[in-house]
Chains A and B, each alone.
Chain A
Amino acid sequence: MWSERRTFLKASLLAGGGLALEAFTAVPARALAAAGGAGALATAAAHGELTAFVSIAPDGIVTITAKNPDMGQGTKTSLPMMVAEELDCDWAQVRIVQADADTARYGFQMAGGSMSTPTSWMPMRQTGAAARAMLLQAAAQQWSVPVAGLTTSSGRITHAASGRSCGYGEVASAAAQLAPPAAESVPLKQPGEFKIIGRAIAGIDGPRVLRGEPLFGIDTRLPGMLYAVYEVAPAHGGRLVKANIEAAKRAPGVRHVVPIIGDGNADSGLADGVAIVATHWWLANEARAKLDVQWDLARAKGHSTEAYRARASEALAKGGGHELRRDGDPDAALASAATRVSARYDYPFVAHAALEPQNCTALFKDGKVEIWAPTQSPGPGRELTQKLLGLPALEDVTVHVMRSGGGFGRRLMNDYMLQAAAIAKALPGTPIQLIWSREDDIRRDYFRPAGWHALEAGLDAEGRLIAFTDHFVTFGQGENTARGANFTLTMPPADLIPNLRFTQTTMPTVLTTGWLRAPGSNALCFMSQGFLDEVAHAAGKDLPALMLELLGEPRVIPPFGGRGVPFDTARARAVIEKVLETSQWRTGATGARGAAGAARAKGFAFYFCHRGYFAEVVDASVADRAVTVHKVWVAGDVGSHIINPFGAENQVRGSIIDGLAQALVGQAIDVVDGVVQQSNFHDFPLARMPITPAIDIAWVHSDHPPTGLGEPSLPPVIPALTNAIYAATGTRIRSLPVKLPAA
């Protein structure tokens, strides 16, 4: 666990006076091994990665560096809250600055996987507490009194016995001369003493956003900057043959037209394309029509949604597949079952569609490149850029991390950064801002991969689930799955029943696939909790009853294969019980739950991912094939504390509506010969205000370190909705997005 990783502190005097305190945490051996033990991460490993950086100026202003990008998930506010809490200062004294990409200094800088909270909980607090301890020691020395006689409050130190007091800033320079304490030795506050953690604090960038100040990557403005588009092949994997460069050059406002041959890495490298650079982005975009590009699209031939579906159907009918996990003897158990239930489920490709389109600003000058990027993954982007441009040192690439207008996993990939860098290199000395059109953004997404499942379950004579099999058809080559297309081997009911088998068949795709908020889980939860609802009905019970029965006695199940996160059945039970209570599931306050044909009913689902336990109930009605979601109840356990209720509830509300949108508004990406058919919000719709239900959030606090909230509340809402639709109408939804049959 990260909470057990050792943290080392280093103090120094600020240039203008005051205390600078840095906390270095050992780089996990596994992360280092994954990075090949090379490059900047190895440098970070030598001294540890800088997890927290706080400075206290002579005027008492506390500056805390946010090392990870913020794309709306709120860590730029919530992580500094941890530091400020233990430092015991007022939030009004705190300033937050965004760090540039610097792997050698910060180690991994990434916003993804709901990881920021769990990895920061101890180091951030230890750093704040250590800074406070040093300030206290400096004051004690100055006043020649024992430290024990000093107290702090709101960024001031008081010696009650003598009535003396001073602000932190007044002793900050003196504190900088002291040796920092061992991080683990500094006493932390008791939870009852928290003044900042647990308070609803508004996001730090809010005022600037509401005044329309430049803040996002797309807002970057540099002297002499030009605007660029990058025309790529209509089909994924297409190669550039020729283009009418001169015609595009003659278009109004166009300054440069640059054909670029990519690096041949169609998955995560630089795609072939033609850059048009103009005085205004709109002029660059208009000139695309003049290019008349010829592409070689042969590679994408036959890569169509229909063909994928047919292949998947064939594979499921044939059975077999590569065995991922087998427990007990599922075939024998199925053969002996009193009741067998089987079904097929599927879900489509989905685009991320963050509202700020992919963009990146770059300036190549004197053999170095400077980049301003809204990215979730600045460190890897920097290394990829160095490699692509063939620059001698990582220091030749500077990446300024800009606020991202949404991420959802899309900006973990840095393809747009490589494009901007390549264009900038072709135009040395001219800053360029590459902006993708919305159409570029939808068509060149790293899509949540589609998937197909054949499921079978066996119940014994007493209605107990004794066997479960899932044959998963996904994308990849042989046993290797495409990015974001892998199975979760701990998906319930794994580890909860004796006989189980997961098998997998892959097929290749030319589409780029990737991680969408709650990767894997956002699809697997729909399929597995939907199917288990069918199993529960076959056993004459409801899904929460089946889940509670499967979870059984409170116990901690170690991660399958020894890697990953343990699963605590007591925590799972607690959130299920909680949501049954808040939604009045058992007393049935709304609709005729479980009675097929009712127009309005509730549905339930549970899931565990990203260390968060979530149980959810959806109250929905169906009329004229249209689904209305009235209310969603959420019960979640993400540990002992909700750091910032403002941010936390925003993450949950957003996840719930995001999940409902995936099911209800018609989100599906189709492809024909490698060409994505959707292009903008008319054919790839997003949630709008009218679909927003009431959302009731209940936290279950457990005695575990806090974990992240960017993702884990999303997956259950989809099957909770489809299970509600079944309860209301008798129609089982086994395919996303939801389509109801004509009456």
Chain B
Amino acid sequence: MTYRLHINGQVHAIDVPGEMPLLWVLRDSLGLVGTKYGCGMALCGACTVHVDGVPQRSCRLPVSSVGDSEITTIEHIGSTEIGARLQKAWLDTDVMQCGYCQAGQIMSAAAMLAVTPKPSHAEIRATMAGNICRCACYNRIENAIRIAAGLEPGGESHDKEHTDVV
């Protein structure tokens, strides 16, 4: 069956079985490979996208359920104001190690800041608990979210960091 998907401001006509998770439509039909496969069970958050602004695990989201919703992926998040702020904070503080989970981390953080512009320490931890970082860059993820939100860097998990970026 053919589905007309609204992705990153464009409409794509896709002919795939309706049960196929959106993740594989993005990756294998459209070549939007920024959204990552990690577990296929909505356990790790690497595949997080926004569906009408709401964070969803695309590995468990049948394409037939998406309808006319506007889908935003990591490839497009930098064109949003919050997304751009997060990307800058991420780079300024060198958050990532391997980087594989980071698209999902950014998408979850962006959705959180859209609803909660100044999240508390507990809110950040509760929201971001759904996104696994196997390299465990958690101190810096929390810190970068605080910076992007215009909060004081730091928080309980954060310690002195070198910041003299070249």
Looking at A242-250, A549-557, A611-619, A681-689, the stretch in contact with chain B turns out to be: A681-689
Which B residues are in CB contact (< 8 Å) with A487?
Answer: none
* Interface mask (B142-166 → A, CB under 8 Å = 1, otherwise 0): 1000000000000011110111111
Query: A128 to chain B: closest CB distance in Å?
Result: 16
A214 to B32, CA, bound (A): 8
* Interface mask (B24-42 → A, CB under 8 Å = 1, otherwise 0): 1101110111111111110
Picked from B23, B31, B100, B128, the residue with its CB within 8 Å of the CB of A355 is: B100
Inter-subunit contact A403/B99 (CB<8 Å): yes
Inter-subunit contact A209/B94 (CB<8 Å): no
A215 to B46, CA, bound (A): 15
Query: A229 to chain B: closest CB distance in Å?
Result: 12
A170 to B32, CA, bound (A): 41
Report the nearest A residue to B163, measured CB to CB.
Answer: A200
A409 at the interface (CB under 8 A from B): no
A354 to B99, CA, bound (A): 11
Which A residues are in CB contact (< 8 Å) with B21?
Answer: 282
Per DSSP, chain B at the interface is loop
* Interface mask (B84-108 → A, CB under 8 Å = 1, otherwise 0): 0001001110101111111100100
Inter-subunit contact B73/A212 (CB<8 Å): yes
A661 to B125, CA, bound (A): 17
Inter-subunit contact B129/A688 (CB<8 Å): yes
Which A residues are in CB contact (< 8 Å) with B101?
Answer: 355, 405
Inter-subunit contact B43/A201 (CB<8 Å): no
A258 to B158, CA, bound (A): 51
Query: A73 to chain B: closest CB distance in Å?
Result: 7
A71 to B46, CA, bound (A): 17
A688 to B135, CA, bound (A): 11
Interface residues of B in 42-66 (CB under 8 A from A): 43-44, 46
Which B residues are in CB contact (< 8 Å) with A438?
Answer: 38-41
Which B residues are in CB contact (< 8 Å) with A651?
Answer: 97
Picked from B25, B92, B98, B132, the residue with its CB within 8 Å of the CB of A688 is: B132
Which A residues are in CB contact (< 8 Å) with B142?
Answer: 689, 692
A73 to B161, CA, bound (A): 18
Inter-subunit contact B33/A227 (CB<8 Å): no
A199 at the interface (CB under 8 A from B): yes
B114 at the interface (CB under 8 A from A): no
Inter-subunit contact A406/B36 (CB<8 Å): no
A658 at the interface (CB under 8 A from B): yes
Inter-subunit contact B31/A221 (CB<8 Å): yes
Which A residues are in CB contact (< 8 Å) with B68?
Answer: none
A495 at the interface (CB under 8 A from B): no
Report the nearest B residue to A408, measured CB to CB.
Answer: B134
A435 at the interface (CB under 8 A from B): yes
Inter-subunit contact A72/B96 (CB<8 Å): yes
A19 at the interface (CB under 8 A from B): no
* Interface mask (A644-655 → B, CB under 8 Å = 1, otherwise 0): 011101110110
A202 at the interface (CB under 8 A from B): yes
Inter-subunit contact B161/A212 (CB<8 Å): no
A353 to B44, CA, bound (A): 12
Given A212-B33, A406-B134, check contact A650 B140 (CB 8 Å).
yes
A697 to B31, CA, bound (A): 41
Which A residues are in CB contact (< 8 Å) with B126?
Answer: 690
Inter-subunit contact B74/A72 (CB<8 Å): no
Query: A121 to chain B: closest CB distance in Å?
Result: 20
Which B residues are in CB contact (< 8 Å) with A543?
Answer: none
Query: A242 to chain B: closest CB distance in Å?
Result: 28
Inter-subunit contact A282/B102 (CB<8 Å): no
B136 at the interface (CB under 8 A from A): yes
Inter-subunit contact A657/B103 (CB<8 Å): no
Picked from B100, B132, B162, the residue with its CB within 8 Å of the CB of A356 is: B100
Interface residues of A in 640-675 (CB under 8 A from B): 645-647, 649-651, 653-654, 656-658, 661
In this complex, the member of A282, A407, A681 whose beta carbon has the largest number of chain B beta carbons within 10 angstroms is A282
Given A91-B166, A201-B166, check contact A281 B94 (CB 8 Å).
no
Inter-subunit contact B138/A213 (CB<8 Å): no
Picked from A74, A201, A435, the residue with its CB within 8 Å of the CB of B165 is: A201
Query: A215 to chain B: closest CB distance in Å?
Result: 8
Query: B152 to chain A: closest CB distance in Å?
Result: 15
Which A residues are in CB contact (< 8 Å) with B96?
Answer: 72, 203, 206, 209
A357 at the interface (CB under 8 A from B): yes
6 CB-based A-B contacts, threshold 8 Å: A212-B73, A212-B75, A281-B28, A356-B36, A680-B43, A687-B138
Using a CB–CB cutoff of 8 Å, the interface residues on chain B facing chain A are 16-17, 20-21, 23-25, 27-29, 31-41, 43-44, 46, 73-75, 78, 87, 90-92, 94, 96-103, 106, 124-126, 128-142, 156-159, 161-166
Other contacts beyond A205-B99, A209-B96: 6, CB < 8 A: A199-B166, A210-B106, A214-B33, A356-B38, A403-B99, A690-B126
